[in-house]
């Protein structure tokens, strides 16, 4: 069989918000399989904030995306051809192989992850049941170390990571306060996800609203955004507080990251310093399966809710990334190929 693969290749590195000319659409013919290889037909692309950082050629926790190669990202799809004992045709797979419509891969490639059988939609394994959900799980449990009765504040609370952090926090007995942009997102976080409160940072009273929502100060702050939100949280952190730093999306398009005031500056300047560190989900790679199982159980028992923005059409991936970087999406942003 032959498959016409569409790929978005990184064509140039962006300055500020990535425009369409940063990528080049490429057609590639995928043909014969060697032994132990499979072909995956991609159904969904994941669009995540971290992708903006990978487009830069700068020092980071992960190697930058290479010019002329498929844009970094996770996908979910179905095995359509197999020359492997490990995968059958029809198996559902998540693959960290970039923006493309078909993927040919070796069956032992660590970038492949078999999706467990369940009646939950495949796209969810790129969000709540995928990398963002695992990021929330390990960041909160291993870096945040929540205890019942503590106050947990989560920024980007309606996003793919934040929704899971807050709901887990409630399950662990914390008082959970979300921060999100706009009344619609805040309402969802409060009424649907059942956080104790959610503050609209766009309403203009961030500092006062935060003080009113957290009369006993803040024990854990799960950092997703940076900027003014970090500054509002900092003076309210209690002794012994923990700050897992997942990212700081408000600053991802800065031209010179070296001269930006990041959460590390904000929290590092406090006395006493809260326990704060940047973490990456790959630190706990050998426990991914277990974490996904736990979250899947919560979703199946309706103890974990989530929301997706699904945009149809492979060609809409660049715009979807811009939407994520400006907070236009609601919940997890997915492209349906």
Question: Interior CA angle at 277 toward 219 and 146, to 5°?
Answer: 35
Q: What is the pTM of this model?
A: 0.94
What is the rounded average pLDDT of the residues 122-146?
97
- Helix or strand holding residue 53 (H, E): helix 50-54
Each residue's pLDDT tens digit, 17-42: 999 999 999 999 999 899 999 999 99
Mean pLDDT of the chain: 96
Each residue's pLDDT tens digit, 263-302: 999 999 999 999 999 999 999 999 999 999 999 999 999 9
Contact 8, 71 (CB under 8 A): yes
Tell me, which fold does domain 3-126+307-336 have in CATH? Quinone Oxidoreductase; Chain A, domain 1 (3.90.180)
Each residue's pLDDT tens digit, 218-253: 999 999 999 999 999 999 999 999 999 999 988 988
Query: 336, 298, 81: which is closest to 193 by C-alpha?
Result: 298
Is residue 258 pLDDT above 80, yes or no?
Answer: no
- State how far the Cα of 236 lies from the Cα of 3, in Å rounded to an integer: 56
Is residue 259 pLDDT above 90, yes or no?
Answer: no
- State how far the Cα of 87 lies from the Cα of 36, in Å rounded to an integer: 9
Contact 146, 240 (CB under 8 A): no
- Work out the pLDDT band at 60, boundaries 50, 70, 90: confident
What is the rounded average pLDDT of the residues 155-175?
98
Residue 253's pLDDT is 86
- State how far the Cα of 98 lies from the Cα of 116, in Å rounded to an integer: 21
Contact 44, 336 (CB under 8 A): yes
Residue 63's pLDDT is 87
| Residue 150 DSSP code | -
Place of tokens 């394994």: 125
Torsion of CA 317, 227, 15, 156, to 10 degrees: 0
Residue 296's pLDDT is 97
Is residue 194 pLDDT above 80, yes or no?
Answer: yes
Residue 166: asked if its preceding bond is cis (omega within 30°), the reply is no
Three-class secondary structure of residue 39 per DSSP: strand
Q: What architecture does CATH give domain 131-282?
A: 3-Layer(aba) Sandwich (3.40)
Contact 251, 219 (CB under 8 A): no
Residue 151's pLDDT is 98
What is the rounded average pLDDT of the residues 215-220?
98
- Residue 198: other Cβ atoms inside 10 A: 25
Residue 143's pLDDT is 98
Write down the domain spans for the chain.
3-126+307-336, 131-282
Torsion of CA 253, 261, 233, 271, to 10 degrees: 160
Is residue 61 pLDDT above 80, yes or no?
Answer: no
Residue 17's pLDDT is 96
- State how far the Cα of 263 lies from the Cα of 56, in Å rounded to an integer: 20
- State how far the Cα of 251 lies from the Cα of 169, in Å rounded to an integer: 26
Contact 186, 178 (CB under 8 A): yes
Residue 214's pLDDT is 98
Is residue 111 pLDDT above 80, yes or no?
Answer: yes
């Amino acid at each position: 069989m032959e498959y016409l693969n569409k790929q978005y290749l990184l064509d140039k590195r962006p300055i500020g918000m990535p425009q369409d000319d940063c990528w080049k659409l490429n057609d590639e013919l995928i043909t014969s399989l060697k032994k132990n290889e499979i072909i995956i037909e991609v159904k969904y692309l994941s669009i995540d904030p971290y992708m903006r950082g990978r487009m830069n050629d700068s020092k980071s926790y992960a190697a930058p995306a290479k010019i002329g190669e498929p844009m970094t990202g996770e996908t979910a799809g179905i095995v359509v051809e197999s020359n492997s004992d490990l995968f059958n045709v029809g198996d559902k797979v998540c693959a960290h192989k970039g923006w493309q419509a078909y993927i040919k891969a070796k069956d032992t490639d660590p970038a492949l992850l078999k999706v467990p059988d369940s009646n939950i939609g495949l796209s969810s394994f790129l969000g709540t049941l995928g990398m963002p959900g695992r990021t929330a799980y390990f960041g909160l449990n291993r870096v945040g170390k929540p205890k019942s009765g503590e106050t947990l504040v989560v920024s980007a609370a309606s996003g793919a990571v934040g929704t899971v952090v807050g709901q887990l926090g409630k399950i662990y007995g914390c008082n959970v306060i979300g921060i999100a942009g706009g009344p619609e997102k805040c309402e969802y976080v409060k009424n649907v996800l059942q956080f104790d409160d959610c503050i609209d940072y766009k309403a203009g009273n961030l500092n006062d609203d935060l003080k009113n929502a957290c009369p006993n100060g803040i024990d854990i702050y799960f950092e997703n955004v940076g900027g003014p939100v970090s500054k509002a949280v900092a003076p309210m952190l209690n002794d012994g507080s923990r700050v897992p730093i997942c990212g700081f999306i408000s600053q991802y398009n800065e031209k010179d990251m070296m001269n930006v005031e990041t959460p590390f500056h904000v929290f590092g300047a406090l006395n006493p310093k809260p326990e704060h560190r940047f973490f990456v989900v790959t630190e706990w790679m050998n426990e991914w399966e277990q974490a996904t199982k736990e979250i899947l159980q919560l979703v199946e028992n309706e103890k974990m809710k989530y929301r997706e923005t699904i945009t149809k059409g492979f060609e809409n991936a660049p715009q979807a990334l811009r939407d994520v970087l400006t907070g236009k999406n609601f919940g997890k942003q997915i492209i349906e190929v």
